[in-house]
Structure 1
């Protein structure tokens, strides 16, 4: 795996395991862009069909794994729906799942988190995603790939996701550490009171690969995220980048991180909720 992170694999490892029947490779790409009207998302299915790791199937997180009547646009799908989609993709509880995306890794960690939310921990992330795969000289496939349908049995870990009410209580609870995962400029503009900042874009290098533990540890230590007496809760704009911070923290021994799935979208939906700025 050639990484200090227990849930990270490199292109060479994946290339050597392409024919392993116990592995399911999943492209988790969603395209996210911002303009004067806000955030816009688009399914990554077309880019998956144009180029993907050979044997990879596609998980449409935007359309199939999001609860569209939740408190925020990207609320995690209910357990029953998640299990239905995973089983349809040929992913069972017995499989090792390799996830990647085409963009910046946060959609891969989002699926990693959702699988872990349902107690499926045998999940690894391809470091650097499709760009790293192609950069290493490995071939890509076009069109689509499917595995035979199977059964996925979910076991929701309720402690891994928190609601707005939980976060409201956490703002008065020093035993909970709220970690804003957005860029430093966004953090300065507005944040949930009492939050600290670990920007997701500082977790990776210029090639989109996760930085080593020797670089990540000081970043998290500086905000108290490795203090065993506090419970880390990560959030961002819509619950996506927050999973990248949770993923990095797991590699440093914090497997107890919860995600505020509604994140700033849900928090700011009520103008009476306070914000810190500056």
Structure 2
């Protein structure tokens, strides 16, 4: 890590002040990406997925449209939620929403920036690089008493040819192969109790053996919901052994929180970063895969 860590892709992070000044930019495609996980007990599933559309319809950043991550952008035939569709399919879905040639996508969410970073990471995976997340999301926008509107916005369809980047998402075999590999660092973005195995939310309690814990709550300022400083975030990752020279694999419950850690590692200049898409939603249920607690 450099002596003075910095975010090396500042164009991928925008402030509320910047967005307020550029709402009329015809090239912008602004999206509310909010999803909620409603945790339940006694249902046999870790949570119920709820689209954030209802909150969007109550009020959103002017001109912004809505992206339903599970309903519109995920492979709904997959056994776990939020799985990536094939790159060409996903690119076509983004294009239908207005993301493509000549546009810049601005992504925001409510309560947690991880929903915006998930969509950002998906766009990067299909080769679209002109996207940014709104630091602090709708919560900061609202706290600053900036304007909102209730009218639904839609953008004209765009052209987006998939140019897939291999390795940004991995499956269980790649994750299993990294166990015990000194050249790899596997990071769990879930809360500490889930990492320790105190809570059997996803099936078998515990974590992928040898993985370390960087909960997404550690990299976000709890008051403003903005990203912590590069220096603070760099120190957190360095403290768990995430060296720049290593292959970094990130996971969580369903491949969402992991993208926030991945986004920040990318910002810090890490080159070899992958998200385990199915994460503990798959791993904890597969009895053939190792797990550890404590």
Task: Using structure 2 for the length normalisation, give the TM-score.
Answer: 0.90
The runs of 4+ residues in structure 1 deviating greater than 6 Å are: none
Unaligned runs of at least 5 residues, structure 2: 1-5, 198-205
| In the alignment, structure 1 residue 136 sits paired with structure 2 residue 141 | no
Cα displacement (A) at 1:68: 2.0
1:200 to 212, 216, 219: 216
Give yes or no for the alignment of 1:210 onto 2:215.
Answer: no
Kindly report the root-mean-square deviation, in angstroms, between the aligned alpha carbons of the 2 structures: 1.5
Q: Which aligned pairs between 1:49-198 and structure 2 lie closer than 5 A?
A: 49-70=57-78, 72-189=80-197, 190-198=206-214
Aligned pairs, number:
275
Q: Structure 1 residue 246 and structure 2 residue 262: aligned?
A: yes
SS in 2 for 1:159: coil
Residue 233 of structure 1 aligns with which residue? 249
SS at match of 2:286: coil
Residues 116-145 of structure 1 deviation map (CA, whole Å, 9 limit, x = unaligned) = 011111111101110111112210010310
- Whether 1:224 and 2:241 are equivalent positions in the alignment is yes
Residue 34, structure 1, aligned to residue 39, structure 2: yes
Which of 14, 17, 23 is equivalent to 2:22?
A: 17
Structure 1 residue 239, shift from structure 2 partner: 0.4
- CA distance in 2 between counterparts of 1:163 and 1:210 reads 28
Cα distance in 1, alignment partners of residues 34 and 86 from structure 2? 20
Could you tell me which runs of 5 or more consecutive residues in structure 1 were left unpaired when the two chains were aligned: none
Rate the CA distance shift 1:255–1:128 in 2: closer, same or farther, 3 A: farther
Q: How many Å separate the matches in 2 of 1:12 and 1:235?
A: 32
